[in-house]
């Protein structure tokens, strides 16, 4: 079974989507993200991927109030990412109601801090976010490329206790041209023990079933829902 995880991306407290992570190409879908979350919940969705794009860009958690409103207003299990850099940041998002912390940039830039959090909160609460451009890790809200290849990067972190990873192929994100099935299959062939959540490019319900076949434990879906390419009714029937 694959878990359906809709995404809400936040800028200025509003539900938006970017095109391939480009802040200049922004589309606002809803002024009130809580309404969006409640609709997801009404269709049986249990989990939400909430991204603080302001936080990712500025290096500081910014949309905490919105997280709080959604956590208090729904029963969704929220994984929250974007701008989590300090102990204060990670404590604040858990205090605000997040069930998981999605950590990307800090895992690369300050691995000691990341592993400290992994030990303190456990692998069930810490998600490693691996954002990829041409199989290399990108950080800082996708604004900075690194020389780190995705497979050795993940092998290193899994060997140290990481069990949950969500991987986004930036080239696929927001373009509705299908997900990076070959990449996910390659990762799972090397690391079959991990819970791999696919993200980016899902454009039709068939993509979801394909990811399920590959062995992904979850799929994050954003633009395809907002643009009506996949209906919440269709997603409700995935099992």
| Structural domain for 194, as ranges | 3-236
Active site residues: 9, 131
Q: Give me the mean pLDDT over the 208-235 stretch.
A: 95
Q: What is the pLDDT of residues 17-67, one digit of tens each?
A: 776 666 677 788 888 999 999 999 999 999 999 999 999 888 889 999 999
Give percent of the chain above pLDDT 90: 72
Report CA-CA distances (Å) from 93 to 90, 116, 146.
5, 17, 27
Which pTM was predicted? 0.91
What is the count of structural domains for the chain?
Answer: 1
Q: Which residues in 211-232 are b (16+ Cβ under 10 Å) and which e?
A: bbebbbbbbbbbbbbbeebbeb
CA distance 100 to 147: 27
Instruction: Return the CATH number at 162.
Output: 3.20.20.70
């Amino acid at each position: 079974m694959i878990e359906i995880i809709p995404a809400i991306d936040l800028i200025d407290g509003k539900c938006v989507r970017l095109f391939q992570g480009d802040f200049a190409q922004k589309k606002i879908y809803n002024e009130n993200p809580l309404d969006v979350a409640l609709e997801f919940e009404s269709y049986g969705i249990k989990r939400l991927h909430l991204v603080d794009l302001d936080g990712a860009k500025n290096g500081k958690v910014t949309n905490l109030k919105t997280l709080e409103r959604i956590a208090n207003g729904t029963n969704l299990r929220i994984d929250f990412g974007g701008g989590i850099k300090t102990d204060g940041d990670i404590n604040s998002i858990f205090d605000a109601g997040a069930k998981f912390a999605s950590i990307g940039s800090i895992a690369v830039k300050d691995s000691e801090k990341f592993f400290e959090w992994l030990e303190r909160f456990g692998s069930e609460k810490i998600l490693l976010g691996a954002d990829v451009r041409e199989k290399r890790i990108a950080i800082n809200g996708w604004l900075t490329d690194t020389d780190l290849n995705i497979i050795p990067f993940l092998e290193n972190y899994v060997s140290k206790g990481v069990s949950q990873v969500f991987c986004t192929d930036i080239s696929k994100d927001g373009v509705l041209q299908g997900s990076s099935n070959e990449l996910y299959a390659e990762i799972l062939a090397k690391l079959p023990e991990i819970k791999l959540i696919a993200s980016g490019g899902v454009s039709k319900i068939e993509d979801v079933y394909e990811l399920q076949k590959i062995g992904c434990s979850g799929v994050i879906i954003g633009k395809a829902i907002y643009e009506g390419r996949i209906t919440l009714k269709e997603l409700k029937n995935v099992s």
